[in-house]
Amino acid sequence: MEKKVTLTIDGQEVSVTPGQTVLEAARSLGIYIPTLCHYANTTNVGACRVCVVEVENARSLVASCCMPVSPGMVVRTNTPAVRAAQKMIIELLWSSGDHNCLTCEQNGACELQNLIYWLKIDKPRFPIEPPGHAMDESNTMISRDLNKCVLCGRCIRACNEIQVNEVLDFSMRGSYAKVGPAFDTDYIDSTCVFCGECLQVCPTGAITFKQAKFAGRPWELEKVHTTCAYCGVGCQMDLYVKDNRIIKVMGNREYGQPNEGSLCVKGRFGMDFVSHPDRLTKPLVRRDKKEDLKEVSWDEAFAFIADKLKAIKSEYGADSIAGLASARCTNEENYLFQKFLRAGIGTNNVDHCARL
Ligand code: FES
């Protein structure tokens, strides 16, 4: 049997796997410890210190997201010293940015805003001094407002450790510190592939979904869990819908496999076609080369296709026909398609556009 480590958190005893952190142990007990820079499945860097706790006999407060459990440890998560430290940290973060919730796209879904409310902070004790960074509106998909960045580094780790694109990192020092591509370029001039992982993990309004701007507040959007239809991987995603229109798309982390919450550029940003007015929703048939396409019923369309296929097969043979299946169909649909070509038409000329 696997050895366990037993410790006490807020008076409750818990046994966890060696190597787990105090944060993980507390969460297994249902004890809430606030976090900002922590993001599961990436390196714990202890950048923000919001998750501090008291550990008996430790010289100072410790960051629970980085502290491994040890036998007999006694942890307290809710003491006046812990709350005072958390308030100080949040007030410093608040005052060193332009956190203007009135116009922020993340209002209502911002982790910094939630922590300010949870810690009951009316306003910061320090003068608000935003760094005055220029906005990055260089592309049509991602907006970057580094004045709202809390330097948690989640976007950097998501870019480097989850997507392994290695585009983002910190630059500069102290109050000039910022996150971005090499040589301080905008996204469009960098090696960014626009997977959008950075906006998925950003806890504030620093990196946001550009197409969603002014299209709906977070509480107005209905979240619909679905499977991406772009290729055969089957990535799990959440569509954020308002008035039957998709406002934005986020990877679904809870479902786990196959994408663990990540998406590619097409899955995340290629959603306009769904409600595009030019989208084909009815079959169109051109009976004669000189004719325009005409809208017909599905029965008429299928009868037309069947007649044409029969005529071609009888005149030129089954191998004069080929079929190209779509990556947007399900495995079952593609199975049926090849079956139709092989058993129905009598040819092995079948291929599939299973590539991104
Ligand atoms: Fe632990 Fe930031 S969440 S240091």
pLDDT digits (tens, 9 = 90+) for 47-70: 999 999 999 999 999 999 999 999
Q: Is the CB of 90 under 6 A from ligand 1?
A: no
pLDDT digit string (tens) for 116-155? 999 999 999 999 999 999 999 999 999 999 999 999 999 9
Tokens 């504030």 sit on residue: 204
| Residue 38 Cα: closest atom of ligand 1 | 3
Q: Which residues pair with 350 in a beta bridge?
A: 323
Under a CB-based contact definition with an 8 Å cutoff, are residues 22 and 139 in contact? no
Under the banding of pLDDT at 50, 70 and 90, the label for residue 24 is very high
The CA distance from 181 to 109, in Å, is: 26
Res. 356: pLDDT tops 60? no
Q: What are phi and psi of 168, to 5 degrees?
A: -100, 150
| Residue 45 Cα: closest atom of ligand 1 | 4
CA-only gyration radius of the chain, Å: 27
User: SS3 of 300, please?
Assistant: helix
| Residue 36 Cα: closest atom of ligand 1 | 3
- CA 180 – ligand 1 centroid, Å: 21
Range 5-78 has CATH code 3.40.50.10860: no
The residue with greater pLDDT, 330 or 278, is 278
Q: What are phi and psi of 95, to 5 degrees?
A: -75, -15
| Residue 23 Cα: closest atom of ligand 1 | 1
User: SS3 of 304, please?
Assistant: helix
Under the banding of pLDDT at 50, 70 and 90, the label for residue 331 is confident
- CA 40 – ligand 1 centroid, Å: 11
User: SS3 of 273, please?
Assistant: helix
Around 299, how many Cα atoms within 13 Å sit in the side-chain half-sphere? 0
Amino acid at 74: V
Instruction: Extract the tokens encoding 207.
Output: 């990196």
Under the banding of pLDDT at 50, 70 and 90, the label for residue 256 is confident
According to CATH, the topology of domain 131-275 is Alpha-Beta Plaits (3.30.70)
Q: Which residues pair with 238 in a beta bridge?
A: 225, 250
Under a CB-based contact definition with an 8 Å cutoff, are residues 255 and 225 in contact? yes
What share of the chain in percent tops pLDDT 90? 87
**How much is the pTM?**
0.86
- CA 44 – ligand 1 centroid, Å: 7
Res. 1: pLDDT tops 70? no
- CA 27 – ligand 1 centroid, Å: 14
- CA 46 – ligand 1 centroid, Å: 5
Residue 333 Cα distances to 56, 232, 319, 338, 339, angstroms? 61, 12, 22, 9, 10
Q: Is the CB of 22 under 6 A from ligand 1?
A: no
The CA distance from 129 to 10, in Å, is: 37
Q: Which of 157, 208, 211, 212 is nearest to 179 (CA)?
A: 157
Q: What is the DSSP letter of 283?
A: -
Q: Which among 27, 50, 75 is the best mutation to test ligand 1's pocket, defined by most ligand atoms within 8 Å of the CB? A: 50
Q: How far is CA 272 from the centre of its chain?
A: 18
DSSP string, 81-146: HHHHHHHHHHHHHHHTS---TTT-TTTTS-HHHHHHHHTT-SS-SS------PPPB--SSSEEE-G
Under the banding of pLDDT at 50, 70 and 90, the label for residue 327 is confident
Instruction: Extract the tokens encoding 12.
Output: 């409750």
Q: Is 250 exposed, middle or buried (0-12, 13-18, 19+ CB in 10 A)?
A: middle
Q: Is the CB of 86 under 6 A from ligand 1?
A: no
Q: Where are the domains of the chain?
A: 5-78, 131-275, 284-355
| Residue 46 Cα: closest atom of ligand 1 | 4
- CA 65 – ligand 1 centroid, Å: 6
Q: What pLDDT does 330 receive?
A: 80
Instruction: Extract the tokens encoding 314.
Output: 């009888």
- Of the candidate ranges 84-93, 227-236, 239-248, 303-312, the one whose mean pLDDT is the lowest: 227-236
Tokens 């902070």 sit on residue: 121
Average pLDDT of the chain to the nearest whole number: 94
